[in-house]
Copies of this chain bind each other. A is one copy, B any other.
Amino acid sequence: MQIVKKRATLKTQVYDYLKESIIMGGLKPGERLIEEKISEELQVSRSPIREAIRMLEKDGLLLVNSSGGVTVVEPSIQDFQHLYECRVEMEPLAAFYAAERRTQEQIELIRINLLQIGKILETNDIKKVHDANVNFHETIISASANPFLVSMISHLRGVNSFYRKSIIEENPLHIEHAMHDHQQIFQAIVHQEPEKARQLMKAHIESDYIQFMKLSSKSRED
């Protein structure tokens, strides 16, 4: 383990900053990024900025149009459908391997996470509940101990976060329901029941998807 943190390079910092901005909504879908503007804003030359942009492009968060300009992606309903078609297979797969390979520490991490969610629920702090939920999923994914799976799912979840800010997670009923799912998935992982973990996770993601489709069709009626 490295004790002294490696000095972060500018390109890394710019990358993190832009990614955060996109996911948190500071940069809106469809918005164009101007290298010079970012350069002024962050007091950094264009070189590291351009490298960060190339990375975000590969992450699927930025889109280059034919004439070189880059814009924040604008996921369509169709995109979300495609996203879920992937998530609904891959996260259960991660749960499967997590059940096989999880370490004792990882079990503890999840246990603590679940306890936290319980407490946070009482405070009604939606943002924190959401973060804790994301944390639950990420811990399981990383417990799958498959780097490809980890990277692909985090890619999906990155794009996914465009809608995560929306109302879905604020639906109290949905949260209760999710909590219950999480508990069950946790048990399957603790007891090393891969197939069960997979199926529970699949049902969980599917219910998330249905929830999303309901809300998005409702918002289109408005």
In Å, the complex CA distance between A6 and B64 comes to: 12
Question: A83's contact among B2, B55, B90, B148, by CB below 8 Å, is which?
Answer: B148
In Å, the complex CA distance between A60 and B151 comes to: 10
Q: Is the CB of A146 within 8 A of B85?
A: yes
A66-91 contacts to B, CB under 8 A, are 66, 68, 79, 82-83, 85-86, 89-90
Measured CB to CB, the closest approach of chain B to A56, in angstroms, equals 9
Q: Is the CB of A2 within 8 A of B82?
A: no
Inter-chain contacts of A97 with B (CB < 8 A): 85
Q: Is the CB of A66 within 8 A of B146?
A: no
Q: Is the CB of B149 within 8 A of A152?
A: no
A25 is an interface residue with CB less than 8 A from chain B: no
Q: Is the CB of A2 within 8 A of B66?
A: yes
Q: Is the CB of B86 within 8 A of A148?
A: yes
B-facing mask of A4-46, CB < 8 A → 1, else 0?
Answer: 0010010100000000000000000000000000000000000
Inter-chain contacts of A85 with B (CB < 8 A): 93, 97, 146, 148-149
Question: A51's contact among B2, B51, B93, B155, by CB below 8 Å, is which?
Answer: B51
The 7 closest A-B CB pairs, nearest first, are A58-B58, A82-B146, A54-B54, A51-B54, A86-B148, A152-B152, A54-B55
In Å, the complex CA distance between A82 and B152 comes to: 12
* Among A47, A51, A66, A159, residue most surrounded by chain B Cβ atoms (within 10 Å): A51
Inter-chain contacts of A82 with B (CB < 8 A): 146-149
In Å, the complex CA distance between A148 and B85 comes to: 9
Measured CB to CB, the closest approach of chain B to A35, in angstroms, equals 12
